[in-house]
């Protein structure tokens, strides 16, 4: 674990280095009591029944999810290269806890679309990379019930604290990790509902900043209390997958 002043972190360089990182776990390891499995469903609003149309709540919710603009700034920001395709995109997640920033890499390893006559669904999934303080996967799906028009966000995940993480990190996780996770997912659902409704009413695009390198949510001011960046929270040089 390395500590450095937050203002000295070369964000673009760190994002580009994620291309050389592998996924830090294997699916065959996802079993036992050390893993947590979460399933969340958030109501976003209602469209007209039938297949989604451009400009609908579902359509705007998908745009926000595609940009990852709905992450709660008080808990997490993300950086990624704007012109990278969604599938395979690397995201540098910057998590906030007390005075520290935790820099964690993830990769979008799956995009999903499904229409079965009952539900219309689109989304993507990311998995954690070497150096992440956790191991696991998160699935985001924007779903429309074709009969009622109800639009929801479904978030499914599995994770564990990285057994290679620094003891300080593991202790903090045992005390505060699960509480922070549930706060995060609750905020994600609330943010996406507000963003999608506003975008439907105004026609706005997702609020992102940066040209080559995107930051979400868009930075609105300095946060001097984020004084320290924790880099490479776990040493996973022998990661399982690329």
* pLDDT value, residue 151: 98
Higher pLDDT, 171 or 131: 131
- 9: confidence class by pLDDT, cuts 50, 70, 90: confident
- 7: confidence class by pLDDT, cuts 50, 70, 90: low
How far from 146 is each of 61, 120, 218, CA to CA, in Å? 16, 7, 33
Q: How many CA atoms lie within 13 A of 240 on its CB side?
A: 12
* pLDDT value, residue 240: 63
Q: What is the mean pLDDT of residues 167-186?
A: 82
Q: What is the mean pLDDT of residues 182-205?
A: 94
Please provide the DSSP assignment of 42-107 as one string: EEEEE--SSS--TTSHHHHHHHHHHHTTTS-TTTEEEEEETTS-STT-EEEEEEEETTEEEEEEEE
Q: What is the pLDDT of residues 85-118, one digit of tens each?
A: 999 999 999 988 766 788 899 999 999 999 999 9
* pLDDT value, residue 224: 46
pLDDT at 166 over 90: no
pTM assigned to the model: 0.89
* pLDDT value, residue 78: 94
Q: What is the pLDDT of residues 12-61, one digit of tens each?
A: 899 999 999 999 999 999 998 889 999 999 999 999 999 999 999 999 99
What percent of the chain shows pLDDT beyond 70? 86
**What is the overall mean pLDDT for the chain?**
87
How far from 106 is each of 118, 134, 193, 204, 240, CA to CA, in Å? 32, 10, 24, 27, 14
Cα 50 to the center of its chain, rounded Å? 29
Q: Domains in the chain and their CATH numbers?
A: 2-231 (3.30.530.20)
Q: What is the pLDDT of residues 208-230, one digit of tens each?
A: 877 789 999 876 555 544 445 55
């Amino acid at each position: 674990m390395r500590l450095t002043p937050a203002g000295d972190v070369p964000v673009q360089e760190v994002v580009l280095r994620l291309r050389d990182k592998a996924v830090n776990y294997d699916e065959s390891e996802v079993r036992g009591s050390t893993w947590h499995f979460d399933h969340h469903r958030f109501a976003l609003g209602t469209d007209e029944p039938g297949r989604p149309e451009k400009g609908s709540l579902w359509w705007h919710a998908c745009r926000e999810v595609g940009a990852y603009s709905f992450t709660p700034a008080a808990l997490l920001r993300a950086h990624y290269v704007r012109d990278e395709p969604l599938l395979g995109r690397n995201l540098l997640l910057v998590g906030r806890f007390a005075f520290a920033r935790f820099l964690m890499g993830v990769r979008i390893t799956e995009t999903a679309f499904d229409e079965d006559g009952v539900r219309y669904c689109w989304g993507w999934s990311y998995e954690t990379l070497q150096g992440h303080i956790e191991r696991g996967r998160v699935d985001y799906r924007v779903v429309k019930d074709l009969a009622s028009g109800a639009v929801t966000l479904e978030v499914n995940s599995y994770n564990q604290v990285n057994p290679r993480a620094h003891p300080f990190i593991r202790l903090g996780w045992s005390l505060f990790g699960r509480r922070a996770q549930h706060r995060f997912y609750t905020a994600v659902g609330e943010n996406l509902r507000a963003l999608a409704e506003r975008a439907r009413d105004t026609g706005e695009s997702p609020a992102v900043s940066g040209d080559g390198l995107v930051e979400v949510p868009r930075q609105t001011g300095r946060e001097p209390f984020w004084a320290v960046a924790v880099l490479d929270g776990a040493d996973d040089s022998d990661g399982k997958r690329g």
